[in-house]
Amino acid sequence: MRGSTGVSKRLAWAALAVFLLAFVVLEVINHGVAAGVAALLFLIAPDLPMVIGGKVSPRAVPYYNLVHRPCHDA
């Protein structure tokens, strides 16, 4: 069972995600297609090695884990 700390962290991450999503949508509306393409590239960039090669180089694993850490920390 989760304590109130785990729920608080999840709510904080959810609030941040909603804010950032709204900000990205606003910027794409303001700046057009180029901003949309940049946003999509930024969205898939952490998983690009998995998409291209199917696995991450052993040297890159710590960096891959670093960019995915906030998703699994709560």
Secondary structure (DSSP) of 17-67: HHHHHHHHHHHHHHH-HHHHHHHHHHHHGGGHHHHHHSS--TTTHHHHHHH
Whole-angstrom Cα Rg for the chain:
16
Cα torsion 23, 27, 33, 34 to 10°: value is: -100
Q: Could you report the per-residue pLDDT of 8-58, keeping only the tens digit for each?
A: 888 998 999 899 999 999 999 999 999 999 998 888 887 777 777 777 778
Tokens of 70: 């906030």
Q: Is the pLDDT of residue 64 over 80?
A: no
Number of domains forming the structure of the chain:
1
pLDDT for 3: 64
- Residue numbers of the domain that contains 54: 4-73
pLDDT for 41: 87
Predicted model pTM: 0.62
| Cα–Cα distance for residue pair 67/16, rounded to 1 Å | 16
